[in-house]
């Protein structure tokens, strides 16, 4: 509390969120993304051979959760300079969800092409955000994850041309992405407690 010299009234100042608060929020978001990826992959894996109703819903849900997470992240990290990369993630995830809705009836190869294109471009956006956050710590796994997205996305597009197209790789990709979120969350926990 402080006193105003002119009025003598006491005022309460609410502290602005600092870097540690942002780190805690980011850590929680990463933990939530890990849990979602784990559950999502567990539900998709047994249904990866074809695009049924559950698989279709899961495929559209994933980029929408990515959008929601990027919105939350952008709101909590406005002052860090990463917002443009997060805004790109929001737009890309929206396009991916719409693109998936459009191709769901066309089968697994069409889904793999859309998912692959999204993974490549979203991976580049993730790399940009992680590189800008390097000083905050805990971003090595996010840099690896963005790189993996680029490579995995290209492989999904190539897989779509093969005779045995399956969404099993997409489930594995989501699971591995979730592990990267977990590793980053654990590292951010160390940064926040230091």
- How far apart, in whole angstroms, are the C-alpha atoms of residue 33 and residue 93? 15
Work out the mean pLDDT of the chain and round it to a whole number: 85
Q: How far apart are CA 70 and CA 88, in angstroms?
A: 9
pLDDT at 103 over 70: yes
Quick one: average pLDDT of 154-174? 92
Beta-bridge mates of residue 3: 10
Average pLDDT over residues 82-86: 76
Q: Any idea what the Cα angle at residue 40 is, between residues 182 and 180, rounded to 5°?
A: 20
Q: Break the chain into its structural domains and give their ranges.
A: 35-193
Confidence of residue 175 (pLDDT cuts 50, 70, 90): very high
Q: How far apart are CA 82 and CA 68, in angstroms?
A: 16
> Is the Cβ–Cβ distance between 173 and 119 less than 8 Å?
yes
The model's pLDDT over 123-133, given as tens digits with 9 standing for 90+, comes to: 998 888 888 87
Predicted local distance difference test score (pLDDT) of residue 4 = 52
Q: pLDDT at position 19, please?
A: 46
Task: Give the residue-averaged pLDDT of 136-144.
Answer: 76
pTM over 0.85: no
Comparing 11 with 71, the larger pLDDT belongs to 71
pLDDT for the residue numbered 7: 60
What proportions of the chain, in percent to the nearest 5, are helix, strand and coil?
80, 0, 20
């Amino acid at each position: 509390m402080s006193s105003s010299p002119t009025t003598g009234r006491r005022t309460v100042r609410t502290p602005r969120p600092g870097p540690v608060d942002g780190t805690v929020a980011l850590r929680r978001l990463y933990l939530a993304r890990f849990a979602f990826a784990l559950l999502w992959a567990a539900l998709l894996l047994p249904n990866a051979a074809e695009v049924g109703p559950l698989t279709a819903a899961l495929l559209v849900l994933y980029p929408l959760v990515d959008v929601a997470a990027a919105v939350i992240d952008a709101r909590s990290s406005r002052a860090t300079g990463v917002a443009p990369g997060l805004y790109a993630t929001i737009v890309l995830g929206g396009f991916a969800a719409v693109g998936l809705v459009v191709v769901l009836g066309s089968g697994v190869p069409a889904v793999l092409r859309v998912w692959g294109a999204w993974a490549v471009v979203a991976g580049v956006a993730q790399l940009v955000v992680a590189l800008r956050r390097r000083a905050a710590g805990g971003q090595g796994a996010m840099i690896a994850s963005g790189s993996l997205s680029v490579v995995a996305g290209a492989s999904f597009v190539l897989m779509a041309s093969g005779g045995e197209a399956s969404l099993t790789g997409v489930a594995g990709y989501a699971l591995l992405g979730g592990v990267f979120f977990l590793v980053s969350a654990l590292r951010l926990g160390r940064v926040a407690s230091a």
